[in-house]
Amino acid sequence: MAIITIAPSALLSLVCSSVEVFRQESFGYLIVSTKGNNSKVRGALAFQTSRRYGYYEVCDSMKAERAYTWISEFQSTGDWHSHTYSPRQVLCAKPTETDIKDMLKGKVDLIVAIQKTRRKYITKWYEKDKGLASSINGYKFLIRGWRKIGKNQIEELKLKV
């Protein structure tokens, strides 16, 4: 089983970017280094300048495309995006059909599920299912990692900090 380690600085970027545009979907690119079957997410770049059309499609800005080209020259890359949930919904970080279609084969894809809560407390990051979970000042988070292995086939990756 592949293990993905997320650097604290990348984790901070994922969380802050998801909270900043809470009601909208946040997305960006990951800077990933791979050694054998395991990978380490060293950084996360967010793009809040995108506009969301309809229910599923997200249009990239040219700024995001230029940054992706620049990053991919230096490191292996992956993608990440957020899913927002209301307090009445179960927090889940599973990819939708559109997410699976947009994934690139063999690349790391993180989904940050975020939900607003009334409780203002902080918990340390802990393993939940194969992902990571935490509560920070009125927000609950669940982060899960995925990799596309076939046309419509994905595998879940184990995450750790």
CA distance 161 to 74: 23
> Please, what are the domains in the chain?
3-160 (3.40.140.10)
Do 19 and 139 touch, CB atoms closer than 8 A? yes
CA distance 159 to 42: 13
Would you state the pLDDT for residue 49? Answer: 47
Contacts of 38 (CB under 8 A, 6+ apart): 2, 3, 4, 5
Query: Does the pLDDT at position 71 exceed 80?
Result: no
Q: Is 141 exposed, middle or buried (0-12, 13-18, 19+ CB in 10 A)?
A: buried
What's the one-letter identity of residue 93?
A
CA nearest neighbour of 15 among 105, 156, 103, 123: 123
List pLDDT tens digits, range 52-65.
554 444 555 555 56
What are the tokens at 48? Answer: 């809040």
Where residue 100 falls among pLDDT bands split at 50, 70, 90? very high
What are the tokens at 31? Answer: 């800077």
> 98: helix, coil or strand?
helix
Query: Does the pLDDT at position 141 exceed 90?
Result: yes
Would you state the pLDDT for residue 8? Answer: 92
Size of the chain in residues = 161
CA distance 12 to 84: 17
Would you state the pLDDT for residue 104? Answer: 87
List pLDDT tens digits, range 2-46.
889 999 999 999 998 888 877 777 888 888 888 877 888 988 888
Q: What is the mean pLDDT of residues 98-123?
A: 89
Would you state the pLDDT for residue 5? Answer: 92
Q: What is the mean pLDDT of residues 47-54?
A: 53
